[in-house]
Structure 1
């Protein structure tokens, strides 16, 4: 199918799944007529067909742009992100170690390649989170390193069916997330972002003020700070699609927030402070894996995700691999 402008063509790849007649994710490639073009043609097409692209994203939850030969560098990617016109969301309160690259673009989670990053909605553990995220493959992985994605409402439906009492308690009490931050970033940890880069300041009083805006409590220690967030909802209602979504970082925190400072079992509890049942968390992880799809990255790929509809993760990989990201309000 071509859009009315004829620039984008909907494509099929083997990894896609179909739910109620809707493929996940949508895949767009250049039409045959547009196989030779420069970056300005692509950005113009994005601006021209933005309403259609927005409706496609809303319907499918994620769009993979593949085969656009002018997309090779971080500045190219930044230009495409800018063409969509979404407002930028500063990365305040997130856990991942990242480095700013150019414009609105920074590195995706820089944790070691042998580590898996569990499924999560981006920044679901803080009140202000992105509505959309872009990923870009600047250097495709030698092996592995996929970014699996899964539709959030499917996870909610399966968990509700299998563990109704657990989900009821989750909806009633929400979750509390606890994380201990050092002063500086620790690139050996998947949650190694230090408090200075978490709050974008070297000043503790400014960090307190920014944490306060997130309703986050800080407890300072000799060499860092304990952050306590919550209770915060673990299930949200997606108004635009009229369905409940599994919007939390519960599995990510319980199975992955581990380093020299943090014990993952203590990283997340029910909102009333009671511990979570480990066997249910791991069963939820199994459901996430079963429902997910993992598309191997190719150089130049752009993946646009609706953060309210889709959770994402990262598989271990053999370097090199360089995936860049951009967050939007």
Structure 2
């Protein structure tokens, strides 16, 4: 995978992979981005252990694999303009795709564990390929129809998001709702998938339509990967329904919850671990935090297209 010969071994019960520096003691910067992306395409999620990067080194590693880095406007940056500290209380967090309930879902989700918990507090992962393959035929038929997420976003948050996504082209106070609309329409399928309305208080209400099961970054195979069970710690909880307006239904949702619970794996963090997740295939969440010294940073990005082309 690089000149320093890191070692790759299985991680968990699925296709995840663990990468360690090996005898030659590779640094994170020694890893070949093409090999990293090739491994991710196979594994769905990868944990890099023993490299122990600083936040700044982690941020550079993210940039080296990405055409563009995005953000959560409710989080603060650390060590530059890439890493954001994960701050979502201490309760368990349901499985979700990062920004999966909006047209701005990134290709890749990254984590850096600066300080691991002494007990509990694991990040969870669930491979949507495995979910779709194991789902009952009737449930796969139900999710042949798209789903929708609908919710309100405060004015300050959508303006901050527009500012970051457009590289600060305008002062924050000069950003308009039409700038936000243009950004939404520039997202992949944004014009077709998203209805956007400005409310009297300046906030935005959107309805985003997408597949609960869909193709992924690396191929046409269907993955049941979505934010049906996802959190809303910093935002209003979205209303989730089928595209025809009908509710998902308690029985269907409960079956999918049991199935995803059965297929969910834990990332047992160690200090300095880095995790890379295919955000189009693998959902992630969190067990309840039982050790508040745990410190995790998150980044979101769009993979370099030349790396995809090299696969």
Question: Structure 2 length normalisation: TM-score?
Answer: 0.80
Gapped regions of structure 2 (runs ≥ 5): 164-171, 303-311
Deviation of 1:295 after TM superposition, in Å, equals 1.8
Q: Which of 261, 268, 271 is residue 289 of structure 1 equivalent to? A: 261
Check conservation: 2:113, 2:297, Cα contact below 8 A: yes
1:89 paired with 2:52, answer no
Q: Distance in 1 between matches of 2:162 and 2:284?
A: 24
Seen in structure 2, the aligned counterparts of structure 1 residues 277 and 209 have a Cα distance that, compared at 3 Å, is same
Seen in structure 2, the aligned counterparts of structure 1 residues 159 and 251 have a Cα distance that, compared at 3 Å, is farther
Q: Distance in 2 between matches of 1:76 and 1:238?
A: 28
1:8 paired with 2:15, answer no
Secondary structure at 2:69 match in 1: coil
Gapped regions of structure 1 (runs ≥ 5): 19-23, 185-193
Check conservation: 1:143, 1:319, Cα contact below 8 A: no
Which position in structure 1 is the counterpart of 2:50? 67
Check conservation: 1:176, 1:270, Cα contact below 8 A: yes
Seen in structure 2, the aligned counterparts of structure 1 residues 221 and 211 have a Cα distance that, compared at 3 Å, is farther
Q: After superposition, give the CA deviation of every residue in 1:80-111 in whole Å (9 maximum; x if it has no partner).
A: 223x33212323xx6x7311113342325422
Q: Which of 57, 65, 73 is residue 76 of structure 1 equivalent to? A: 57
Secondary structure at 1:5 match in 2: coil
Deviation of 1:242 after TM superposition, in Å, equals 3.7
1:159 paired with 2:135, answer yes
Check conservation: 1:251, 1:282, Cα contact below 8 A: no
Check conservation: 1:29, 1:66, Cα contact below 8 A: yes
Q: After superposition, give the CA deviation of every residue in 1:124-152 in whole Å (9 maximum; x if it has no partner).
A: 22234211221101122243221111111
Which position in structure 2 is the counterpart of 1:50? 33
Give the number of equivalent residue pairs: 285
Secondary structure at 1:282 match in 2: helix
Check conservation: 2:107, 2:217, Cα contact below 8 A: no
RMSD (Å), alpha carbons: 2.7
- Larger relative contact order (Cα-Cα within 8 Å, sequence gap ≥ 6): 2
Q: Distance in 2 between matches of 1:152 and 1:204?
A: 37
Q: Distance in 2 between matches of 1:257 and 1:97?
A: 11
